[in-house]
Amino acid sequence: MAEDVTGVLEETYENEPTGVEVERDDDQQPETAKPWRPEDIRVGTKQFSLRNILDLIDDGDLELAPDFQRNTVWKAKQKSRLIESILLQIPLPAFYFAEDANGMMRVVDGLQRLSTVRSYVRGEPADFTLSGLEYLTREERKRFSELAPALQRRINNAQIVVHVIDPTTPPGVKYDIFKRINTGGTPLNGQEIRHCMSKDRSRDFLKRCAHTPEFELATGGSLRDHIRMDDREVVLRYCAFSLMRVEGYISRTRGSMDTFLEIATGMLDDPDQVPDADLPELYDKFCSAMVNCYAVFAEHAFRKWPYNSDRLSPINRPLFESWSYVLGQYTETDLARRKEAIVAAARALMTSSREYNDAITSSTGGVTKVRLRFDMAEQAARAMALP
């Protein structure tokens, strides 16, 4: 995490800033939902050969989380060392899959490993050759097709242990299991977990919204195809509050933003809750909200902008959810007329209101803080232009 001179903490990934402000969790939230019951955990254990796994992927019965931005993070040396470990017959750590009601499975933990194996065995890309090997140096620069048949069989026949999360496991329990068992070098964040849990319907909708020119302009391009999927998360936050309002957050979550976003993802995946005919309207509302936010705040939209600093701060998620929802209720013409007054009111809050700054900075999921930041944004949005 990198901190600027105004005290704003920006998230980093592999020592690079991500363009998004950290949501600090400085104190415990008494409203947070109680833990689930241990008997709700339903996980079975199975054993597969890598050949079985690759066939399941090819047949569409096992999904490697398409459009997952961190699939390509591993370097060539890491990938080659994994293949070398398999060739040396070193057992791989257990994998976790989640199964749905139709028998379709998704990879929860082990995505990088399976992606690497599939890429090498299937020759995609064709230039994937082994490099930097420690023991099997004779296999350097070889593709899978160039390995001796015995070594090819060693990879195909390698056995892996898979823990499969049963489809009857409640969604909230699944989410917490995902958080606990992820063993990658960088644990999955909330949106990456939701991406693994969700269906194509919500994934495609969030991606479509995040790729609009309106979103690109309002966020200054800083979230374009975000490496940690924060672009999808802020879009989901807008959708969640549009679908359920602040009242829904308070009544359905007891102060857990993750729970709120899980519910919203389920709604977007379910045509019975959000009919196909309603998605275009939600999309249009989102685009209008982006236009309105940029019309008022320009390049400072969704960023802290107190009077004592004109620095372009990173995107702040609580500001995004509250201001996009609030300004989305007005017309662009009305906001253009009152732009200066609204900006002045918002900057005054960020400069002088300790309560407001706390609500957009630390333990931001508390229901009191959520209500406060939406109420204060609404009050600022009503600011009148001078005659």
DSSP string for residues in 30-49: TTSPPPPPGGG--EEEEEEE
Confidence of residue 14 (pLDDT cuts 50, 70, 90): low
pTM: 0.81
Average pLDDT over residues 31-58: 81
Task: Look over the chain and give the mean of its residue pLDDT values, rounded to a whole number.
Answer: 89
79/74 Cα distance (integer angstroms)? 7
SS (H, E, C) 187-220: CCCHHHHHHHHCCHHHHHHHHHHHCCHHHHHHCC
87/89 Cα distance (integer angstroms)? 5
Q: Are 134 and 207 in contact (CB under 8 A)?
A: no
The pLDDT score that the predictor gives to residue 18 is 84
Confidence of residue 28 (pLDDT cuts 50, 70, 90): very low
Q: Are 359 and 315 in contact (CB under 8 A)?
A: no
The pLDDT score that the predictor gives to residue 65 is 67
- Range from 6-20, 63-77, 213-227 carrying the lowest mean pLDDT: 63-77
pLDDT, greater one: 387 or 134 = 134
The pLDDT score that the predictor gives to residue 196 is 79
% of the chain residues with pLDDT over 70? 90
Confidence of residue 186 (pLDDT cuts 50, 70, 90): low
The pLDDT score that the predictor gives to residue 184 is 55
In tens, the pLDDT along 332-357 reads: 999 999 999 999 999 999 999 999 99
Is 202's pLDDT higher than 60?
yes
- Pull the structure tokens for residue 35: 């833990």
